[in-house]
Amino acid sequence: MTERRRLEVTLALLCTLGGCAPRARPLAGTPTPLVRLPSTELSRGARRVLFHWEYKEQEGFSAHGEGVARVVSPDSARMDFFLEGGFGGGWAQLIGDQLTIPGPDFVRRFIPPAPMLWATLGRLSVPPARDTTARMSGDTLRADIGAEPTWRVTFVGPRLARVERVDNGRIQEWVARDGETLRYQHETGRRSLTLHVDRTEEVSGFDPSIWRR
């Protein structure tokens, strides 16, 4: 085996073991002065989102089932995940930027961090930063917010379509919103969570007990 081939094999092995994250490319589009990002405030009132979900790890572990998100303006959400076959489940609660995940450890493995979990619900909630750059391409606005990490956000019209966390020039994790399919991917952890929205219902409210920890 040549020295170059040894290097290629070694790099491939390191990527397999360590989960190489893809390199972030320069922002696409035409530079534009950014006055304000589109609003992603939750619509007034309360709504219930019914979905089914799939979780996968590259090592082979997977799980799936049904779930419900109960969302209340301006910044409260609870998401319940039920395993297929009635074998238990777990839940996560978001109040502002505070994420609480009680219960079984397996739930902690696949629940995204607060900014990414909010992104699945269409709300942008990343740490504020002054150094923001933006580019436009047709009806698509892309912006980089902050540095180390950089939060790269993509809007198609007024809709939040994608959020990426970029660190050391590489995409560590991301959320993509494509119609009724919402996907979270952790590149270095080599795991993914996909939500398929079945129905969204406007409701009058929820029992206060669901917010108790």
The pTM for the full model equals 0.86
Q: Tokens 């799980």 appear where?
A: 63
Task: Determine whether 169 is exposed, middle or buried from the number of CB atoms within 10 Å of its CB (0-12, 13-18, 19+).
Answer: exposed
Rounded-to-integer distance, Cα 128 and Cα 151, Å: 10
> What is the DSSP code (8-state) at residue 212?
-
Rounded-to-integer distance, Cα 70 and Cα 78, Å: 5
- Residue 113 contacts by C-beta under 8 Å, 6 or more apart in sequence? 99, 173
Chain length of the chain: 213
Residue among 166, 148, 173 nearest 19 (CA): 173
Residue-wise pLDDT for 99-152, tens only, equals 999 867 777 888 999 999 999 999 999 988 878 899 999 999 999 999 889 999
203 pLDDT exceeds 80? Answer: yes
Residue-wise pLDDT for 31-51, tens only, equals 888 768 899 999 899 999 999
**What are the DSSP calls for 140-184, one per residue?**
EEEEEESSSSEEEEEEETTEEEEEEEEETTEEEEEEEEETTEEEE
Q: If pLDDT is split at 50, 70 and 90, which confidence band does 180 have?
A: very high
19 pLDDT exceeds 70? Answer: no
Give me the residue spans of the domains in the chain.
28-211
Q: If pLDDT is split at 50, 70 and 90, which confidence band does 4 have?
A: very low
Region 28-211: CATH code: 2.50.20.10
